[in-house]
């Protein structure tokens, strides 16, 4: 499931589009996260501890995990599915963080891709469990990063080891196989080093090839901001999976249910549900993200007429109770979200005012 592209052109901002593909609704909502919030990593031993330095706008799924977002420094982070992910045994010498908080930790504390890569390497990410189709599996995820300079990174955790591809050239990401293999497969296609025609299936390697190919077709000078945004949207939408096209045995082949779009330069965050025609966006400088501000919420699913810039629609909300590592969250119901029970739940946010 999921696709991501990054693109910029001379005189235009750094733009990041991503599709979220999943087999059921995720209860996804937009939250504004202020500075000055103390959090901990929600692992049993040696949890990572930090206080947010940057405010952010994020997409929260299942009411318990940050899956995507952008901060006021222009750092954009996206979690995508990778079946090969393996987080390994807990090494308690390193501070630990639940994967439900990985994106939030980086948006809270980092301004650049380089800082986010270093911060990830200095801790150990631990998974929670997803109950999907009645089966518990570790949340197998990998991470993409981009910043206002155009820098980019893809971060995988394989056999307990963090593997990082860091550089502006890493502009496309989907799912399996692992990234090294995706880069090899890419070279067989027309316009990318080989002679095969660009494929059109829902498989992750085919979506990867389509994204890489279509990025090469965007104009060097789009002419306007609107044209640049439309260009990247045209690519990420071409990487989408149609509604209803779910493989019950493979959650990495699932319909695209929502899409985000981060403008790292102008600190703007777009969001759309794929079963709704309206696109909303948030200019971070229109929100109160100061250290004395409330956590704020906007739920597009509860405001079906919303469109355009929606910062004025955010309302005060309770802080998120993030999912501790090693607990389970049900993620295959019809929008129903059942968080795991743990003595650690409720300890994820303590306001530092």
Domain ranges of the chain: 3-351
Per-residue pLDDT of the chain (353 residues; tens, 9 = 90+): 799 999 999 899 999 999 999 888 889 999 999 999 999 999 999 999 999 999 999 999 999 999 999 999 999 999 999 999 999 999 999 999 999 999 999 999 999 999 999 999 999 999 998 876 667 777 899 999 999 999 999 999 999 999 999 999 999 999 999 999 999 999 999 999 999 999 999 999 999 999 999 999 999 999 999 999 999 999 999 999 988 877 766 666 789 999 999 999 999 999 999 998 899 999 999 999 999 999 999 999 999 899 999 999 999 999 999 999 999 887 764 334 444 443 333 333 333 32
Q: Phi, psi (5° rounding) for residue 257?
A: -105, -25
- 3-state SS assignment for residue 179: helix
DSSP 100-159: GGHHHHHHHH-SSHHHHHHHHHTSEEE--EEEETTEEEE--EEEEEE-TTS-EEEEEEET
Cβ(330)–Cβ(336) under 8 Å?
yes
CATH for 3-351 (3.60.60.10, 1.10.10.60, 3.40.50.970, 1.10.510.10): 3.60.60.10
The alpha carbon dihedral of 156, 14, 150, 65 has a sign of negative
Cβ(100)–Cβ(125) under 8 Å?
no
pTM listed for this prediction: 0.93
| H or E segment to which residue 209 belongs | helix 204-215
Report the distance separating Cα 123 and Cα 141, nearest Å: 16
Residue among 59, 145, 128 nearest 340 (CA): 128
Residue among 26, 66, 77, 75 nearest 258 (CA): 26
| 228's tokens | 């640049």
The distance from CA 348 to its chain's CA centroid, rounded to whole angstroms, is 19
Q: Phi, psi (5° rounding) for residue 138?
A: -60, 140
| 20's tokens | 């979220």
Report the distance separating Cα 151 and Cα 141, nearest Å: 21
Report the distance separating Cα 177 and Cα 251, nearest Å: 14
């Amino acid at each position: 499931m999921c696709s991501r592209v990054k693109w910029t052109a001379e005189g235009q901002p750094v733009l990041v589009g991503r599709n979220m593909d999943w087999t059921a609704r995720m209860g996804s909502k937009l939250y504004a996260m202020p500075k000055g919030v103390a959090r901990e990593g929600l692992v049993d031993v040696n949890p990572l501890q930090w206080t947010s330095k940057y405010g952010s706008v994020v997409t929260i799924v299942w009411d318990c995990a940050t899956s995507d977002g952008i901060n006021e420094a222009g750092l954009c982070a996206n979690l995508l599915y990778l079946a090969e992910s393996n987080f390994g045994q807990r090494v308690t010498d390193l501070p630990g963080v639940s994967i439900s908080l990985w994106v939030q930790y980086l948006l809270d504390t980092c301004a650049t891709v380089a800082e986010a890569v270093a911060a990830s390497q200095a801790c150990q990410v631990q998974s929670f469990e997803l109950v999907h189709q009645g089966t518990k599996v570790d949340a197998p995820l990998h991470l993409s990063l981009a910043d206002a300079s155009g820098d980019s990174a893809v971060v995988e955790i394989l056999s307990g080891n963090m593997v990082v591809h860091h550089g502006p050239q890493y502009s496309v990401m989907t799912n399996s196989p692992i990234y090294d293999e995706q880069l090899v497969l890419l070279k067989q296609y027309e316009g990318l080093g080989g002679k095969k025609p660009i494929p059109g299936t829902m498989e992750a390697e085919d979506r990867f090839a389509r994204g890489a190919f279509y990025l090469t077709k965007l104009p060097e000078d789009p002419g306007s901001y609107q044209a640049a945004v439309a260009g990247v949207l045209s690519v990420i939408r071409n990487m989408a999976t149609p509604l209803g096209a779910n493989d019950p045995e493979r959650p990495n082949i699932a319909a695209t249910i929502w899409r985000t779009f981060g403008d790292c330069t102008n600190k703007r965050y777009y969001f759309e549900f794929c079963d709704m025609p309206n696109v909303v966006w948030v200019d971070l400088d229109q929100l109160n993200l100061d250290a004395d501000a409330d956590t704020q919420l906007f739920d597009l699913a509860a405001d079906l007429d919303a469109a355009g810039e929606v910062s004025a629609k955010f309302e005060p909300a309770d802080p998120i109770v993030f999912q501790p590592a090693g607990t389970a969250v049900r993620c295959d119901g019809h929008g129903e979200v059942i968080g795991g029970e743990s003595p650690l739940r409720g300890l994820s946010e303590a306001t530092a005012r």
